Structure 1
Amino acid sequence: MELKFRENGEFSILAIADAQDTDNPQKETTDIIRYSIEKTSPDLIILLGDNIAGDFEGVTPKRTKAAVKALLEPISEKDIPFALVFGNHDHEGLTHKCGFEEKEAKLFLLEEFQKSPLCLAVKGECRSGVGTYNLPILSSDGKKAAFNLWLMDSGTYDCNGGYGFVQPDQTEWYRKTSDELKAQNGGIPVPSFLFQHIPVAETYRLMKQYPFYVPGSVTGGSKRFPGFYKGYKNRQGKFREAPCCSNTPNDQFESWKKQGDILCAFFGHDHTNDYLGRVDGIDLCAVPAAGYYSYGWNHGARSVTIHENSPEDYDTEILSEHSLLPYTVLPKYKQRHGYCEYKNRKPWQIF
């Protein structure tokens, strides 16, 4: 299935992050997906990791398959192609309760997603992770790749503590493939977006550090970033929690700068964030959580429209639950995501 700019020179993407629900998803989770599709009529949907809850009560391989099927139901209804990356929770039910190894679990999940004829996700050729690949978008006349989408498996957890990150072999694959696309494009980098679950540490450059709490600040989300932080370079959205990146420094962001093709990188993972800001000429953007089975109260999705003749002038909109749902979501008190500490709280109880 080829992706292609429309005759009007536009291509629209709907990014859905952290749907993170079970085989019996909450109505609100499904409705966020369904109503965001209806509102935006996207050409492509990207599932940005933690697509299912993973470890939920009574999880089995059969129920994991059912969770994938439930997630895809509103997408299949509209017959829209989708791609995906994995997060740090997708696999956990299979690994914690069903005896799978991590990679085996991700391959099991990918195979289930690929049963849909709308699925564009592939395993990819990298040794690390499952689902590191790219999707070219053809020009409206179909003659060349006018844009490119990078989809990266950002791992799960770091052996140094904290969360995972894109491994060196994945970054090397990105460099090599980026160079190949550049050569095919007459020596000019093909403008691109990148999608991965866990944000890069450079996101903290959109924030100002404080040695003490100030109104609106949040506690650093990694031992690399102690103290308190408050967003001050975000031109859209907010930092409602600190970015939870890896504790291990890596050269992924530097590779983006060197290749010169990535206009914006989109992340999930931090459920309540929806910031957009620029670091060294590259936009860094958060997609809020769509799911109501895990923590957070700033639910929604994000739409992006690429313009073929001026891709750097892309448009993006935060799709909040208040703009999507035809009803008000009231706070609920119940166990969520299979862990007692995850409770749905009223907004003033979140922090």
Structure 2
Amino acid sequence: MKPPSSWILKTVLISLAVLILGTGIATYLVIDGLTNTRIYQDFDQYTELFAVPQHPFDLEQALQEQKAFAIPYEDDSFTILWGTDFHLRRGPFSNRKKIYALLEKAFTETDPDLTVISGDLLFSFDSLKMLTEFADFMQYHGRSWAFGFGNHDGQYTHDKPTLANLLDSYPTALFSRGEDWVAGHSNYPIVLTKDGQPLQAVILLDSHDSRIYEGGIIAPDYIYPTQIAWYRWVEDGLGEVPLYTFIHIPFPEFKLVWESGTAQGVMLDKKVNVPLENSGLFAAMQEKMNTVAVFSGHDHLNDFSGTWEGIDLHYGRSASYGSYGSRYHSKGMKTITLFSDGRPYEVATYTVDDWIL
């Protein structure tokens, strides 16, 4: 005898409810793991010990040791394609194909001389596989690219040294772990040259993850004294060369320029998410004023720029389809165009709306 239809319906509904409940719990555990895994330093800006090399920074030596890179100008302009917060991961709603489509469109439209990823390229339990996939993609397209670590890149299964070692085998990846005496794993310069002489430099800095501040407050980490000393060391060695610096987590002056009311753009995140202590990177940049501009990511819905005490500060346009965003703030990337004849640099924003992706 066949079971009554009401019993079949009840069984289906119960099974569906169990499936929904199980999916919900699994989703919560994944999201909780992804959002609450943090990495802390075992020292702070007051206890970090280091010694700056007695010899000056030497570009030729750094090039030989692959602690720096050099790219010659091929004509009067040099285009950097700047992306941040891609958050590549596997699984449902990761939307990696859209990110790669965005990049392919950007390559076609802007033909960059260099692509710079300013952190959070990865947001995955299997970050090594995601980095391999991305590096293969860039290698396939023959695009030179540089990468500074963000707060999510070295979390979960694979740490930053493991990820850094992978990139050694990719010719198009202009990546270095940097000097051993400096905190972090992606502090290095890329020097743009003309007629064999340094003309400008792109500086990448590892801005780490999170820090436990006084009172047990967890907030973004800061740039450490060794990094600031390294920045001065490289700046002294390069001489009067304009610097364009990329970090992931914005430093406190980004918050100040927004609060001043002079910035242009939008602040759609709840706040400008900066470290709770100012470790002094911006002050170090002001000493010689070779730093022209600083480019940051991290806050997906902040996209503004302004000049603070003589240095330009820029937020990137998030390209992440697999993490938080807004229907009112399109995903995208930016270009930074430098010139060999002394003209001011130019920044342009390209969104998925512009390219109908």
- State how 1:197-208 maps to structure 2 within 5 Å: 197-208=248-259
Q: Compute the displacement of 1:64 (Å).
A: 2.5
Q: TM-score, normalised by structure 1?
A: 0.75
2 CA distance for matches of 1:23 and 1:5? 38
What is the aligned partner in structure 2 of residue 219 from structure 1? none
- State how 1:1-351 maps to structure 2 within 5 Å: 2-7=70-75, 9-23=76-90, 25-26=94-95, 27-54=97-124, 59=125, 63-94=126-157, 105-125=159-179, 126-139=181-194, 141=195, 143-160=196-213, 161-182=218-239, 189-208=240-259, 232-235=261-264, 237-241=265-269, 242-297=271-326, 298=329, 299-311=331-343, 313-324=344-355, 326-327=356-357
1:131 partner amino acid:
S
2 CA distance for matches of 1:29 and 1:261? 34
* 8 Å CA contact 2:255, 2:274 repeated in 1: no
Q: TM-score, normalised by structure 2?
A: 0.74
* 8 Å CA contact 2:222, 2:278 repeated in 1: no
1 CA distance for matches of 2:234 and 2:258? 32
CA-based RMSD of the aligned residues comes to: 1.7
Alignment deviations for residues 170-210 of structure 1 (CA, whole Å, 9 cap, x no partner): 1001111111111xxxxxx20110001000101122223xx
Instruction: Give the structure with higher Rg (CA).
Output: 2
Higher helix share: 2
2 CA distance for matches of 1:206 and 1:264? 13
1 CA distance for matches of 2:262 and 2:267? 10
Q: Compute the displacement of 1:267 (Å).
A: 0.3
Bigger CA drift: 189-198 or 34-43?
Answer: 34-43
The runs of 4+ residues in structure 1 deviating greater than 6 Å are none
* 8 Å CA contact 1:270, 1:288 repeated in 2: no
Q: Compute the displacement of 1:2 (Å).
A: 3.5
2 CA distance for matches of 1:37 and 1:286? 21
Bigger CA drift: 25-34 or 125-134?
Answer: 25-34
Describe the shift of the 1:323–1:114 C-alpha distance in structure 2 as closer, same or farther (beyond 3 A).
Answer: farther
Q: Compute the displacement of 1:74 (Å).
A: 4.0
Gaps of 5+ in 1: 95-99, 183-188, 209-230, 328-351
1:130 partner amino acid:
H
What is the aligned partner in structure 1 of residue 50 from structure 2? none
2 CA distance for matches of 1:319 and 1:175? 33
2 CA distance for matches of 1:127 and 1:180? 16
* 8 Å CA contact 2:192, 2:201 repeated in 1: yes
1 CA distance for matches of 2:290 and 2:141? 32
1:89 partner amino acid:
H
Percent identity (aligned): 23
2 CA distance for matches of 1:261 and 1:114? 30
What is the aligned partner in structure 1 of residue 28 from structure 2? none
* 8 Å CA contact 2:81, 2:334 repeated in 1: yes
